[in-house]
Amino acid sequence: MIRLALPLAIFALLLGLLLTGLFTADQRQIVQSPLIGQPMPEFSLPLLHEPDTELTRADLLGQPFILNVWGSWCPTCRDEHPWITRLGQESPATLVGLNWKDERADALRWLNAFGDSWDIQIMDYVGNTAIDLGVYGSPETFLVDHEGIIRHKHIGAINDAIYADLVQRIDQLIAASEGRS
């Protein structure tokens, strides 16, 4: 009996392992950012609408903000655009757009066509700030608290469920920043 049970048990164990692997493949595609809980990296990037002016990390500190990485070349960014528009209109936190590896003219044309509800737009043409942020695909949305610590990151398009989750997290960050002062 044991002679049969042992190989069968090993087989069942292996089968279970492989099946879990198969069904959790999508989750494992998302690379957990080591930057959650870390200070947002220093940067100095030109504004999309006024390229002669640069925005730095220090300019954003003091209250929580949302940093959304997008590009006119990114089809998923168009999919999530309705939610970004809503976020810009409804969220009390500053919505910062990080235009990633894009031609300025293309970005402006895109915003003209689909609408610009970001509060601030900065350009990372070379992509060094995006590397410092561990960006590997757009759209990506970061939530940063009033002290400049990255608290949350969502990779991929925003949908209804993600939107609700983001709004709740933003409210918590705002409450935390007000509780302090």
Q: Which residues bind other proteins (CB under 8 A)?
A: 29, 31-35, 101, 126-128, 130-137
Strand ranges across the sheet with 65-70: 120-124, 94-100, 65-70, 140-144, 150-155
Query: By C-beta, is 28 or 180 nearer to other proteins?
Result: 28
Residue 101 beta carbon to other proteins: minimum distance, rounded to whole angstroms: 6
Q: Give the orientation angle of helix 75-90 with respect to helix 160-180, to 10 degrees.
A: 40
Per-residue tokens: 170 = 């933003």
Query: By C-beta, is 135 or 144 nearer to other proteins?
Result: 135
Residue 179 beta carbon to other proteins: minimum distance, rounded to whole angstroms: 30
- Return the amino acid letter for 59: D
Query: For residues 40 and 144, is the Cβ–Cβ distance under 8 A?
Result: yes
**Residue 140, SS3?**
strand
Query: By C-beta, is 17 or 164 nearer to other proteins?
Result: 17
Query: By C-beta, is 49 or 101 nearer to other proteins?
Result: 101
Residue 156 beta carbon to other proteins: minimum distance, rounded to whole angstroms: 13
Residue 50 beta carbon to other proteins: minimum distance, rounded to whole angstroms: 25
**Residue 75, SS3?**
helix
